[in-house]
């Protein structure tokens, strides 16, 4: 089952490095503003977007496989029908203990696979909202 407990969410929010899949270079979009908020609150944000060269003055990775840094949280800003492939990419990594899907984004089967692999999953929640509420 996805994480819903406030204490577990607080522990997850203590992580530092967030790979944002679907991070946008367009100010005003949630996929830009929420990662910007996370950066402003001390998180190391790694933008993952094959259609952007640079976001937040940082080179954007084309995929999770292209991220050299260790990832604590994979934050997903892509449609629900793309979650399965993103989770598979996260599971291919030794790191990324947490997969977080933003509001309205869920895939029960992919969540089950991630949890069976020992990953924590937060789904259908906004990381910014939860950070403001709990931290």
* Domain annotation for the chain: domains and CATH numbers: 6-134 (3.40.50.720)
Tens digit of each residue's pLDDT, the chain (135 residues): 999 999 999 999 999 999 999 999 999 999 999 999 999 999 999 999 999 999 999 999 999 999 999 999 999 999 999 999 999 999 999 999 999 999 999 999 999 999 999 999 999 999 999 999 999
Give the chain's count of helices (H) and strands (E). Answer: 5, 7
Residues in contact with 34: Cβ distance below 8 Å, sequence separation at least 6, in sequence order: 77, 102, 126, 127, 128
pTM to 2 decimals? Answer: 0.97
Supply the pLDDT for residue 27: 97
């Amino acid at each position: 089952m996805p994480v819903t407990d406030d204490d577990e969410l607080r522990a997850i929010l203590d992580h530092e490095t967030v790979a944002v899949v679907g991070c946008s270079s367009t100010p005003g979009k949630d996929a830009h503003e929420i990662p910007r908020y996370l950066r402003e609150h001390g998180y190391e944000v790694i933008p993952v977007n094959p259609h952007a060269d640079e976001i937040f003055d940082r080179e954007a990775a084309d995929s999770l496989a292209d991220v050299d840094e260790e990832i604590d949280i994979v934050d997903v800003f892509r449609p629900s029908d793309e979650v399965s492939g993103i989770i598979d990419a996260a599971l291919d990594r030794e790191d990324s203990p947490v997969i977080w899907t933003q509001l309205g984004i869920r895939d029960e089967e992919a969540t089950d696979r991630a949890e069976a692999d020992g990953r924590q999953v937060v789904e259908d929640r906004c990381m910014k909202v939860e950070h403001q509420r709990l931290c």
